[in-house]
Amino acid sequence: MDSLPDAIIQYILSHLSNARDVAACNCVSKRWRESLTYLRSLYFPRNSFDSRPGSYSSDTVVWKMLSATACLEELVVYSPFTSAGLASWLSLVHSSLKDLELRMDNVMDYQACLDSPSKLDCIAAAKKLKSLKLWGVLMANPPKWDVFENLLCLEIVGARLEDPALSAALGACPNLTNLVLLGCEGVRSVSIELPYLEHCKLDFYGSGNCSLSLTCPQIELLEVQGCSWIRVRETTCLRNLSIANNAGKHSTYDPGMLFSQLCRILIIGLLCDALGRVYMVDFGKLSALESLSMRGVQWCWDAISKMLEWSNEVKHLYMKVEFTGDLEALLPFPEVDFVEFFNSHPKLQKFDIHGAMFAALCQKNSLKNVEPGFVIPCLEEVVVQVRSPLNAEQKMNTLESLLKYGKNLKKMVIRILQMKSSHSSTDEFFDEICRLRFMNRKIVRIE
C-alpha cells in the first residue's frame, strides 16, 4: 500500500463504510487518515460503542468522524444518539448528504417527542436528502420539516403514528416515488396524494379498521395490510396489487430492531389475524394489472367480486381468504362457475388458490356450463391448497378439469395442509390425489 499513489489509496479507502473499520484505518498513518476525507458512506452498527474506551460520548465520537469527511453522501446510525447529537452531525454534512438511515428507538418514549427540537425535527437540516429511512419512530406530533424537494424514498418501520403527524410528514415530501410504512400502529385514516409515487408498501396493525385513500396517478406497485376500507381511483399504471388484513406480519423488518419491539409487533399481528376484515374496495379499471394478491381472514363478498371483475386482465392471481360475510358473520364463499371464472380472466398464467375460493370452484354445479371447445388458454401454473376431504368428488373433478382444459399447463402443485385423518374418506381422497399425480407425473406435484 505504501507504494501506491495517493489517488489509488483514496479510492480504495473511500469504499469503507463501517465505523469500526474507518477508526482502525485512521490509526495506521497520517497518509491514510488524510485519505479518509473522501469517504462516501459511514455506518454505525448497534454495538459500535459497547466497548468504547475514553471519556467521549457516542455523540461526540460520531461528530469527530463526520467532521473529518468532506463529501459524505450516506449516513446510517443504529447506535443510540440524542437529538442534540443528531443536530450537530447534520450541521456538518447537510450540504452533501443524500441518504440517511436512523434507528430512532423512541417508539414508546413520549417525553422524547416533547423535546424541542425532537430527533424528527432535526432531520429538516438535511434538505438535499434523496432517501430517508427511520426505525422505531414515535410520531405523535407533526414534524417541523420544510419541503424535501429531492426526497424520492421514505421508509418508516416499527412506528407509532398519529394521523395528522403522518399527513404532515407526507406533505413535506411531495416528490416521493417510493413509500414504505411497515409495522405502523395508531393509524386510523390515511390519505396519500403524491403525484409521482410509483411504489407503495403499507402495513398497519392495531384494530385492523384503518381506511386508506390513495391518489397517485403513477402508482405501479401497491401492497396494503391492515386496512378495511380502501379507495384507489387512479390505477392506469398499477401492475402489482396486494391487499391483506393480516396486520403486523411482514417479512422485511430489520434484524437490528429491538427484540422486545419485534415480539410486540408479532403478538399484536397474531391477535389481528382473528379480526382482520376487508369491507370495501374502490378501484378504477385495473387494465394494466398483472399480479393480484388477496389475503385475509374475512372479506365481504362484494369486495371480492369487484376485485375479480376489475382485474380481468391479470396474469398472476393469489387468493387466500378464509371466509366472506358481513360484520361478525363468517360465511363460506358462494358458488363460483368454473367456466365463467376462466372466461373472465383469459390472460391468467399463474393461479394460487387456497381455502374458500377453491371450495367455491368445487361446488356441485360449478362445471355444468362447460361447452365444446372451452379451453383455459394461458394458464401455466396452478397451486392448490387442500385442507378437507369434504366434497372430495367435486374437488377431484375440478383438479381434473384444470388439467383437461389448461392446454398450456406446465405445473400443478397440490398442497395437503392439516387434513384430519380420523375418517376413511381422508385416505380415499388422498389415494385419488396420488392417482392423479401418477397419471400426470410430469405436471402434478404433491406437497
**Tens-place pLDDT, residues 341-362:** 999 999 999 999 987 899 899 8
Mean pLDDT confidence for 37-56: 78
Confidence of residue 271 (pLDDT cuts 50, 70, 90): very low
96's CB contacts (< 8 A; 6+ apart) are 70, 71, 72, 73, 128
Nearest Cα to Cα of residue 133 among 218, 43, 36: 43
Lowest mean per-residue pLDDT among 131-145, 313-327, 408-422, 425-439:
408-422
In this predicted model, what pLDDT tens digit does every residue of 101-160 receive, in sequence order? Answer: 999 887 666 555 566 788 999 999 999 999 999 999 999 899 999 999 999 999 999 999
Of residues 44 and 51, the one with the higher pLDDT is 44
Residue located via cell numbers 391477535: 271
Q: State whether the Cα torsion 42-46-52-55 is positive or negative.
A: positive
Q: State whether the Cα torsion 64-69-71-76 is positive or negative.
A: negative
Lowest mean per-residue pLDDT among 24-33, 387-396, 438-447:
24-33
pLDDT of residue 107: 65
pLDDT of residue 7: 77
pLDDT of residue 54: 59
In this predicted model, what pLDDT tens digit does every residue of 227-266 receive, in sequence order? Answer: 999 999 889 999 999 999 864 444 334 434 444 444 444 4
Number of neighbouring beta carbons within 10 Å of residue 8? 12
pLDDT of residue 268: 37
pLDDT of residue 181: 96
Look up residue 36 and give its three cell numbers. 479518509
Lowest mean per-residue pLDDT among 19-23, 227-231, 357-361, 431-435:
19-23
Lowest mean per-residue pLDDT among 31-45, 150-164, 186-200, 217-231:
31-45
DSSP SS3 for 23: helix
The beta-strand segments (E) located in 56-161 are: 74-77, 99-103, 131-139, 153-161
129's CB contacts (< 8 A; 6+ apart) are 97, 98, 99, 100, 123, 148, 150, 151
Q: Cα separations (Å) of 334 from 46, 276, 300, 363, 438? A: 52, 20, 11, 9, 32
415's CB contacts (< 8 A; 6+ apart) are 383, 384, 385, 386, 446, 447
- Is the pLDDT score of 316 beyond 90? yes
pLDDT of residue 305: 94
Nearest Cα to Cα of residue 308 among 336, 329, 328: 336
Residue located via cell numbers 393469489: 318
Cα(113)–Cα(111) distance, rounded to whole angstroms? 5
- Is the pLDDT score of 199 beyond 60? yes
What share of the chain has pLDDT > 90, as a percent? 57
In this predicted model, what pLDDT tens digit does every residue of 54-108 receive, in sequence order? Answer: 567 889 989 988 988 888 999 999 998 999 999 999 999 999 999 999 998 876 6
pTM beyond 0.85: yes
- Is the pLDDT score of 176 beyond 70? yes
pLDDT of residue 152: 98
Domains of the chain by start residue, with CATH:
331-366+373-446 (3.40.50)
Of residues 256 and 198, the one with the higher pLDDT is 198
**Arithmetic mean of pLDDT over the chain:** 85
pLDDT of residue 134: 96
Of residues 9 and 61, the one with the higher pLDDT is 61
Q: Cα separations (Å) of 124 from 127, 147, 258? A: 6, 8, 26
Residue located via cell numbers 394494466: 288
